[in-house]
Amino acid sequence: MTASASDLVLPSTGPEPLPQDTAVAAVLGYVRGRRALWFRSPSQPEGRWVHVAAFGYDRFDRLAPDDGAPGDRDVLIGEGLHGRLDRARWTAVRGALDAVWPLAEDAVARAAGRAFEELPEDEFSVLAEPETVGAALRGIWSRSAQLPGVRPEFISAALHHRHPRLIPHVDVTTRRQLWPHVREGDSGPEAVIHRELRANAAGFATLQETLARLLPAERVPTRVRLHDQLLWLAGSLRLPAAVGMGRASEEWQRYAGLTAATPDSGR
């Protein structure tokens, strides 16, 4: 099957192009998906079925970012995506945020208002270091990983939420997917994200525009966050589940109607 101009060719997610329809359904599933959970409480000890969010959109993407110095809310944001921390690890993550904050500020200053995908390739090359965005992002992960009791993905989540257009969110699953595609001279796995976003600029633009129409009341993810969602769903083997949930949503019915009414849409 020949890929259309809006399909996403993301080697980090797999060998086959990701059709635009599949990407739309997957993100809709990430936003709207619910799963059944048997819930017991003191008032209802016999228990009952409830439906809770299947993914982290409500606990992470929907929340407005903070400004100013790092605080306790940043740790709570990380917990919303990666689960609860015990007291010792919570304290460790909170301290790690202070430790890496200057590196995050360096990345923001270097970007000068540009989004991640708008940065030139040199920002993710070791040949242009030390003062590059890529070097700052590598420093954030490595410093976080070296601190006792700290899981770097919590730091990554908190900083991405603060700067959703610039700082990618990377966790153990997505980092494992990215590393095999790192080339000689890359500053780190973020260089792979940058290449894939640049190579698929038209596809991600179409995806963002579609989601903005289908989800007018929601906070539409940035391109770097959309890449993370699709990569995590593929790498964690949750992509089929998210696509199924997305195709069961009201928004998908509208989308299917719009694409059916546009015969020259390339699908």
Whole-angstrom distance, CA of residue 167 vs CA of residue 160: 5
Return the pLDDT at 225: 98
Return the pLDDT at 3: 56
User: Which residues of the chain carry a pLDDT beneath 50?
Assistant: 1-2, 263-267
Return the pLDDT at 264: 46
